[in-house]
Amino acid sequence: MPHDLPLSGVVVVELSDSASAPFTGKVLAELGAEVWKVERPTGDSARGWGPSTWKGSGAAFHALNRGKRCVSIDIKDREQLATLHRLIGERADVFVHNLRPGAAAEYGLDPDNLRATKPELICCEIGAFGHEGPLNTLPGYDPLMQAFAGIMSITGEEDGAPVRAGVSIVDFGAGMWAVIGILAALHRRTTKQSGATVNASLLETAIAWMSVGIASYNADGEPGGRHGSGVAFIVPHRAYPAADGDLVVSCANDALFARLCEALGRPEWAADDRFATNGARLRNRADIDRLIGERLAKETRAYWQELLQAAGIPVAPIQTTAEVVAHEQTRALGIIGKPSDDELGVVGLPLSFDGKRPPPLHAAHDIGADDDKIGKALKARR
């Protein structure tokens, strides 16, 4: 682990399964922390997620657990639970978990118990419905929260069924909020010399992603609807079919729309009362979308990209995963990497420090691969 990363010297114990807490630990590891991933003896559920696998575990597991020490502890076993308590008490600056509601207290891993003997410890709990309220004891997963928070009600085609976002935005978002809370608590600890309890949840994250929609509802009482690849409040701001594929065109203000009209050879659209302002275009969304679509369908994606980019209009093709991985911009950023040729290439930290991205971390280890290091780590602190 490079010693010049921001969290070098910070020790994290992560008792986790699935996605949200593992994503938290992954980010902290990429920032330089020493992360101990604690799994049950049968392993993290994500090890069995398919269909893509690599070296016996789901590719998703490797994406979420690089750069960690993997240890196996059965918290239902009294001696093994005692070892976990020692690891937290003697080594950890941060303890993060996404145990089922009530389980942390059952095993003495709740903040009140842990911080009673180690007040400087930062405890981060990632729950499903949140740590308060009538549903706080219920379990939950990403799709449930996209449904419950209303994300699915505004995702999909207007006349189609509600759709879940294709990536786990709630799981990863909760992990991001947990990291933000942990970093804030670490900063506060430098001055107040005390730890903190950080609570994050899937539902709170999902509601946070609905910030604009909820503000809009509170303003006019309209719950919003589905607009396919577009959005409720800007037109044009969606995907259109070109002759050989789809591309997204975004004009977030009237000046950009006027430039789009010029580039498409239809300057009269910008002077048309139906389309001159964003408000007018919202009222006549179907008409302007049809006109733009008919024009773009006459040429290829590459043709329109070159023309519209030259005019300063935001435009991007809808790419497959293969196209994203192969694109020269992705390669130039170096965001997909691996520490050696025989390891799986995964996405790294989407941050750079002084122009440099933290280097790729070692691959996720097998279940319990680092069990022998626990004793050494504890002895080293005696």
Bridge partners, 69 (sequence order): 36
Task: Tell me how far apart the alpha carbons of residues 339 and 346 are, in angstroms, rounded to a whole number.
Answer: 10
User: Closest by alpha carbon to 30, among 7, 53, 49, 46?
Assistant: 7
CA distances from 238 to 54, 85, 229, 305, 318 (A): 36, 52, 5, 15, 11
Residue 311 near residue 258, CB atoms below 8 Å: no
> Which one is catalytic: 17, 93, 142, 171?
171
Determine whether 110 is an active site residue.
no
Residue 11: CB atoms within 10 Å: 18
Rg (CA), the chain: 25
Q: List, as one string, the DSSP characters of 284-338.
A: THHHHHHHHHHHHTTS-HHHHHHHHHHTT--EEE---HHHHHH-HHHHHHT-EE-
Bridge partners, 316 (sequence order): 248
Active site residues: 171
